[in-house]
Chains A and B, each alone.
Chain A
């Protein structure tokens, strides 16, 4: 379960204007073999997108990070920046561009 409300970097604020419609789609790639399950990405994601999968292991018998709520992702890349073992990265796809082509 996401631990809402007791996160270290809670940067959620009520927006003054309605947010513009999403122009980009994000895909989070997690290299499960490389992941150490340290939980830093889970702690530092401002939108509760990630969680440690307590059911699965990699071959080093470590639980790894998993995406639980991709729709909430804003593509801020905080998870990618903080990950000490470079196991998680964000790929973005421009929906607007794809529509026009």
Chain B
């Protein structure tokens, strides 16, 4: 039996690593095996591959386990109040349209308390990229029922099984007018990174749903096991479909079918572009 002597916690990658200087390694406080950390590295490596430096981008998160992710970025990163990550990010984008703005937050944060902001950001098609870490539960506060919890699932506020139908996030985003919509399981990092790149290319509102099971709360209440077992459970249900309309993108644990893929990619003029045009016409009239 050996005990590691290396007790100094590193706070960065070695200098020859591409992600050197981009992440605060000692802020990864998530449960062992929770894919929130994977999403953080996926976003960061996409930004690095694009050649963006920390002054070219900003990260905003709300409150919750996923909300804690803003602390992990060595960049302008903002931990907004509960549900208000999207308005905060919209303000950043309007003040500085050259900034690449990412929102990384939980399903409860973006779709329960922040649901209103989400649909209006989609409607306006403001040029921000929103990643929702969907674990179908309020992870941080003790496993309460979320607007994404499937019917019949057990949570601490639905001890006899949930009776409320959940939101289908991709269908909601598409109906509200988002110009890029995708859904990927959190372990499929290559495809997720492809979507993050496409979201950066899209001149408008981009939404990516990332499936990142919460074994600590959801897994425990529904008897689904640890991190690895829950990913196995998820992988059995994931079906990747090409050109599937967003309203047919089934998400059902009961039927064992979660359709993943890219559902909407129809770029249209973004909100900051329209504001720019409006400013020009207003100045001409004066």
Contact = CB atoms under 8 A, between A and B. Distances in A.
Interface of A: 8, 29, 31-34, 36-40, 43-44, 55-59, 62, 64, 78, 81-86, 89, 91
A83 B235 contact: no
Rank and list the top 5 A-B pairs by shortest CB-CB distance, nearest first. A84-B37, A38-B33, A36-B32, A81-B189, A38-B32
Nearest to A43: B228
Chain A interface, >50% SS class: loop
Interface of B: 1-4, 6-10, 13-14, 16-17, 19, 23, 25, 28, 30, 32-38, 41-42, 45, 187, 189-190, 227-228, 231-232, 235
Nearest to A42: B228
Contacts of B19: 86
A33 B7 contact: yes
Contacts of B187: 40, 44, 82
A36 B189 CA distance: 19
Contacts of A8: 228, 231-232, 235
A29 B7 CA distance: 16
Contacts of B228: 8, 38-40, 43
B38 to A, nearest CB: 5
A31 to B, nearest CB: 6
Given A56-B3, A85-B32, 7 more contacts: A8-B232, A36-B32, A38-B33, A43-B231, A84-B36, A85-B25, A86-B23
B32 A34 contact: no
B227 A39 contact: yes
Contacts of A44: 187
A86 B235 contact: no
A91 B32 contact: no
B1 A55 contact: yes
Contacts of A86: 13, 19, 23, 25, 28, 37, 41
Contact of B33 (A29, A40, A59, A81): A40
Given A57-B3, A64-B4, A85 B28 contact: yes
A57 B4 CA distance: 6
A29 B14 CA distance: 10
B16 A91 contact: yes
A91 B16 CA distance: 9
